Structure 1
Amino acid sequence: MTGNPFFETRTTPFGLPPFDRIRPEHFPPAFDRGMEEELALVQAIADSAEPPTFANTVEAAERCGRRLATATGVFYNLYSSCTNDALDAIARDYAPRFAQHYTSIVHNPAFFARVDALFRQRHELGLDTAQMRLLERNHLEFVRAGAALASEAKARMAAIAERLATLHTEFGQNVLHDEKAWQLVLEEGDLDGLPGFARDAAAEAARERGLDGKYVITLARSSVEPFLTFSARRDLRRKAYEAWTERGGLPGDHDNTPLIKEIVALRAEQARLLGFPSYAAFKLADSMAKDVDSVERLLLQVWEPAKRKAATEKAVLEEQARAGGLNEPLARWDWRFYAEKVRQARYDLDEAEVKPYFVLDRMVQAAFDTATKLFGITFHAIPDAPVYHPDVKVYEVRDTGGAHVGLFLHDNLARSGKRSGAWMSSYRDQEALDGPVSPIIVNNNNFAKGQPTLLSFDDAETLFHEFGHGLHGLLSRVRYRSQSGTSVRRDFVEFPSQVYEHWMSAPETLRKYAVHHETGEPIPESLLNRLLAARNFNQGFATVEYTAAALLDMAFHTEPEPDAIDVPAFERAVLDRIGLPAEIGVRHRPPHFQHLFAGSGYAAGYYAYLWAEVLDADGFEAFSESGDLFDPKLSAGLKAIYSAGDTRDPMELYVAFRGREPRIEPLLKHRGLVEETPKAA
């Protein structure tokens, strides 16, 4: 195909994808050629008459698939950030093909034989630490994909992988369908209780949908959560809450319930073929946690304290609700509303008073400047760079000497066709095997657009969180692409992002960057103090809804008879067994739990956020103890983690930074789950 950007040398700044020229029809030919080229290169390695060496096998494999990686990198980022019917169709069509392609590589017997031979003699090869880890991880990837199985089991593994790829794609598309299809259209008289920023965001959402003069609440978290927090209309809160929690599970063609049952059953079969008693056991064998018992022990360490704290919170909320005239039991669509009332009363803190100080552009600058102080990098806008949507901003990242580090794309605003949530990804990973290749990293958020866009405190933390992931990709300094940036174990990948959140809430940051969008005045010290004092408010609720989701994940993936699962009944039984309070909903219900079922990355791994929080709370405490949040020695140690990628064991990296293994006490303290000992009289 002539004129296909994927078959041309890029002339854009620093190799940025030429988004202004890329069309859906360009992807299939690029995918097809990319797979053909990769298979040819892999087969050449497999057929080589030379004895296997690290260079002619492992390093040679690192050079395979670059064209395919380029094309899929662009495609799946656009598919998540700015999809349309054409991209959806391509995703459905190619999901099983990509699974088949990957399986044909890892199940190539001659290719695996060469890797296996090197693995068996690895201690005699004179490899450095990164090379040894690459060889060992590559061999493990082959084994966990079924390369060492007998031919019949290997064929079944291939069929399962192909079917799961299709199911994962359908699951995500069904959720997006429901999120796009639903909207709550409001008139002026329906806005009782909504502060100005929430009204403005709802008006903007209505304008985008051609409903000028009306107001729209969508199922984007940045839209529905403020509505549930402030709307005085209990009937409308219920309507919004039920739509939000039922997305992906509505009867009809887009119901994910039957997909979940098949996904869970196939994963369990996959694990059994590989000799594991459950899918969770299989996934956790290649994690920092190691096994199911360790994960459940961690989750239960916070579950009971969180429930106790939530029970205390509930009593206060009920008192507030009764005073406000609610005589019915507190419901799930009531919690945020009355929690905000209590927060206002207890801390004299009103979200409508706080939000004008959290302007998106200022918070972005805060994230950038923090990275400059910690890691010595700077961000420079490229206003004329090609982008896939006008909301996207592109920055060149440079080091202290002015040398190019990489490109960073920031896509912060919610819109139709963009999946919900927040995430980091890459268009190109850093590597240096055949010369330096700089990374192209993207952050996606879903903030409600405004003039200007105002963030909640939690929104600002999310921005810093995703930027921490972005830094993990940008600061990568590895030789091999397979070890680049965030290519680490799932329960370690959240540490660099979560530890970075702490700098957002540092008083030093807020005093400088939390500036009123109209007056330009910095946040008043009294408001700042009240804001920070309220940090642990409602943490029982937040911890319960998250931990319930993580326990539900483990239950699905340890179920001994997955073929017999009735998904709604299973969900109810698990939540009843662990004692989920009736007034608190699980953070993600199964039909829209994309972490688990729109891909396998976080399947039996949703606990990873809490596991990483043990690391991040303990790690940030080192900066607090030093008295300098930008302590040069600690900053250098932290940068070493961001730069190392998967070249070393994650616990080794953490201990090198902290001087010891992490403790859980800082996490319990950070979440306010430590019960204070009464002072002696």
Structure 2
Amino acid sequence: MRKTTFMAAIILLVASCGKTEQNPLLSSFDTPHQTPPFDKIKAEHYEPAFDVAIEEAKKEVEQIASSKENPTFENTIVALDNIGEKMNAISGIFFNLNACLTDSLMQDIAQNVSPKLTSFSHAIYMNPQLFERVKQVHEQKATLNLNPEQAMLLENTWKAFIDGGANLEGADRERFKEISIELGKLSLTFDKNELAETNAFELHVTDEKDLSGLPEGAKEMAAMTAKQRGKEGWIFTLHYPSMGPLMKYADNRTLREKMYRANSTRAYKDNEYNNEEVVKKITALRLEKAKLMGYPTYANYALTDRMANTPEIVNNFIAELHEASYPYALKDKKEVEDFARKAGLKGELQRWDWSYYSNKLMQEKYALDDEMLKPYFKLENVQKGVFDLATRLYGITFKEVNNIPLYHPEVKTYEVYDNDGSFLAVLYTDFFPRESKGGGAWMTQFRGQKIVNGKDQRPLVSLVMNFTKPTDTKPSLLTFNEVTTFLHEFGHALHGMFSKCTYGSTSMDGVSRDFVELPSQFMENFALEKEWLDTWAVHYQTGEKIPQEYIDKIKKSSNFQAGYASDRQLSFGMVDMAWHTITEPVTEPLVDFEQRAMGKTEIMPLVKGSAFSPAFGHIFAGGYAAGYYGYKWAEVLDADAFSLFKQNGIFDKTTAESFRRNVLEKGASENPMTLYKRFRGQEPTVDALLERSGLKNL
């Protein structure tokens, strides 16, 4: 996931921080590569820093808007792209920490500063003098002799003004402002509620008999969690490294059911953290905003700059893949159900049974299990394998350093150098779960790449994961899924680190949602390649290379239940599109709405009281609204792209250089399909994906 941070924070009037020279956020960062001075920053620094930075940015806006010079590309469009350097730097620090090292104070800061930052954006896009200058430059675009990146910046700036309400007047303009401010607050509330619910649940087991079937590593981690909380026995939480093994291995069906119900009712209980009304308010306000802008639905409004630029294209794409996937999903379900009955299951196969019996079926069919593979996937070895892969493909190198300030003791930092020895980026890694961190995995940036005063400002990239923690007796041993997650997020990191753009708006942060997942999902392909696994996967105790038979089994099992997996992923996209193609606010129960949206994908019995949307952070707090389909869309691209590597050799430097030059370096500097075709020489079709997934010719 490519994480989008929220432009938000609180005013805390702290006299000791009132002076600019005392606030580290308002001074030049006297650190290696101008990295954030986390060792000096405190929560009370953020308010005065945001206050000063916003005021400075407002003055910059006014200077451009009131200029007596005729508007040009440089003095208007480029000048706008450079506005708010200090504000953006502070935002890049604060909102990233609010996602991975938050507390109630940080969350309150986010809630209260959100309106200030949203109001600042309105001061840009609803400034009539500024809009007139942008309009004049835009009208001259055919005669300006702009290069492709400049043309893209101009078009994106024009569109940002239009989408930001520049053409609105009177009451519509004021309502647009109110909606934008409220949406910012609601997204933060959604995130806060989901995290609170995740942290509130614990499954406390006191009888070891109830842990039958669980691997020793999972039991040890649960015992460690209980000890840390001052309790006897074992504690399992809703963080995936804890929940996942219980759902997959626990013979105790009651425990699996408790865990499933807890996870599927997050932020959907009768308490202060219930997100149902938050979801309805967000979608109603998004709809109202779209209508103010002249669009029938929010999806119509949001998709205009995507590769799939209309709801019809997206829905047809989802329908095409669903038609191909659903028969296989039914086949997968029957296979698991038949196996479960032979294994003694009484009654209907339930959702809390799926991982358990599916895993046992895979063991029977392929003699393969995560516990067999984990000893070969020690985190440090996986990281070395991933770094070395980047070195082999692109010639870049990684140097761990200890002189860069950290925001948490578990974080590590690396200087990344290009193949010519020049400095490329700083990379932060933050691998393990904690209560102050959101769930999932993502890549983000404390600072993006662009040209500043003629110099290339290199990015500060961060990888945030929730991997299995080390225990007292074992290092962090990853599941195969966690290995692919590492590759996925590292693909995003390469996209950020390789950026070679002139403007901030045309670098990686501007890439459309249905193209930004290509570099990440492309990297996942290497997890199935013997040539790569052979270079690093060794047993953490014996040093023995991963057996060839294990690699063969990984390959053979790669499409195990691919129909079910595809069907489930498509259901998420259907729910997303349903919420964002409403034409009237939703008043019915949330679960009823969800079931109508994704009912055609359902192959398992419904679980009363559970809901998906209240914890669907991607679309309600993560920037993927009307964009979740992008994961499947990018699968089409990555399958087609990797087929060229398979044809030329997975480590072929010429192919890798072309991918870097035409995709990874370009950010949003050109049309994404133009970039893709320049690399691949053709437009992609779903055929490569269906072939790779085994979803053809049932």
TM-score by length of 2: 0.94
Q: Deviations over 1:378-417 (max 9, x none)?
A: 1100134221111111000001222111100011111111
- Classify the secondary structure of the residue corresponding to 1:406: strand
Give, in angstroms, the shift of residue 565 of structure 1. 4.2
Other-structure match for 1:202: 222
Question: Which of 658, 661, 666 lines up with 2:680 in the alignment?
Answer: 658
1:64 aligns to 2:83 (yes or no): yes
Q: Deviations over 1:421-476 (max 9, x none)?
A: 11111011111141221100001111120231111111100011001001111000
The one-letter code of the counterpart of 2:477 is L
Contact 1:133 1:647 in 2 (8 A): yes
Question: Which of 504, 507, 511 lines up with 1:488 in the alignment?
Answer: 511
Aligned residue runs from structure 1 range 31-46, under 5 A = 31-46=50-65
Other-structure match for 1:252: 271
1:517 aligns to 2:536 (yes or no): no
1:459 aligns to 2:482 (yes or no): yes
Give, in angstroms, the shift of residue 503 of structure 1. 1.8
User: d(CA) in 2 for partners of 1:609 and 1:234?
Assistant: 32
1:505 aligns to 2:528 (yes or no): yes
User: d(CA) in 1 for partners of 2:193 and 2:499?
Assistant: 35
Contact 2:571 2:601 in 1 (8 A): no
Q: Deviations over 1:616-644 (max 9, x none)?
A: 00000011112x11222211111021101
Other-structure match for 2:659: 638
Contact 1:475 1:485 in 2 (8 A): no
Contact 1:367 1:504 in 2 (8 A): no
Q: Deviations over 1:471-511 (max 9, x none)?
A: 11100011111112242111100001110111232111111
Contact 1:175 1:248 in 2 (8 A): yes
User: d(CA) in 2 for partners of 1:674 and 1:36?
Assistant: 58
Aligned residue runs from structure 1 range 213-292, under 5 A = 213-292=232-311
Aligned residue runs from structure 1 range 46-445, under 5 A = 46-187=65-206, 188-211=208-231, 213-434=232-453, 435-445=455-465
Contact 1:370 1:503 in 2 (8 A): no
- Classify the secondary structure of the residue corresponding to 1:443: strand
- Classify the secondary structure of the residue corresponding to 1:447: coil
Say if 1:302 and 1:201 are closer, same or farther in 2 by CA, change over 3 A.
Answer: farther
Give, in angstroms, the shift of residue 563 of structure 1. 4.4
Q: How many residues align?
A: 672
Question: Which of 474, 484, 489 lines up with 2:497 in the alignment?
Answer: 474
User: d(CA) in 2 for partners of 1:303 and 1:406?
Assistant: 40
User: d(CA) in 2 for partners of 1:143 and 1:16?
Assistant: 35
Q: Deviations over 1:137-156 (max 9, x none)?
A: 11001101111122322211
User: d(CA) in 1 for partners of 2:419 and 2:323?
Assistant: 47
- Classify the secondary structure of the residue corresponding to 2:181: helix
Contact 2:280 2:585 in 1 (8 A): yes
User: d(CA) in 2 for partners of 1:100 and 1:565?
Assistant: 33
Say if 1:285 and 1:167 are closer, same or farther in 2 by CA, change over 3 A.
Answer: same
C-alpha RMSD of matched pairs (Å): 1.6
Say if 1:619 and 1:437 are closer, same or farther in 2 by CA, change over 3 A.
Answer: same
User: d(CA) in 2 for partners of 1:208 and 1:124?
Assistant: 67
Contact 1:42 1:61 in 2 (8 A): yes
Say if 1:620 and 1:193 are closer, same or farther in 2 by CA, change over 3 A.
Answer: same
1:548 aligns to 2:571 (yes or no): yes
Give, in angstroms, the shift of residue 359 of structure 1. 1.0
Give, in angstroms, the shift of residue 268 of structure 1. 0.8
User: d(CA) in 2 for partners of 1:67 and 1:387?
Assistant: 20
Contact 1:549 1:588 in 2 (8 A): no
TM-score by length of 1: 0.96
The worse-fitting range, judged by mean Cα deviation, of 366-375 and 136-145 is 366-375
Q: Deviations over 1:348-397 (max 9, x none)?
A: 11221111111111111111111111122111001342211111110000
Q: Deviations over 1:598-623 (max 9, x none)?
A: 14x21111000000110000000011
- Classify the secondary structure of the residue corresponding to 1:271: helix
Contact 2:444 2:463 in 1 (8 A): yes
Give, in angstroms, the shift of residue 588 of structure 1. 8.0
Give, in angstroms, the shift of residue 202 of structure 1. 2.1
Give, in angstroms, the shift of residue 206 of structure 1. 2.8
Other-structure match for 1:679: none
User: d(CA) in 2 for partners of 1:223 and 1:669?
Assistant: 34
Say if 1:157 and 1:634 are closer, same or farther in 2 by CA, change over 3 A.
Answer: same
- Classify the secondary structure of the residue corresponding to 1:436: strand
Give, in angstroms, the shift of residue 227 of structure 1. 1.2
Other-structure match for 1:617: 639
User: d(CA) in 2 for partners of 1:588 and 1:196?
Assistant: 32
Give, in angstroms, the shift of residue 215 of structure 1. 2.0
Other-structure match for 2:626: 604
Question: Percent identity between the aligned chains?
Answer: 37
Contact 1:428 1:441 in 2 (8 A): yes
User: d(CA) in 2 for partners of 1:477 and 1:350?
Assistant: 42
User: d(CA) in 2 for partners of 1:144 and 1:115?
Assistant: 14
Contact 2:591 2:611 in 1 (8 A): no
Question: Which of 466, 474, 479 lines up with 1:446 in the alignment?
Answer: 466
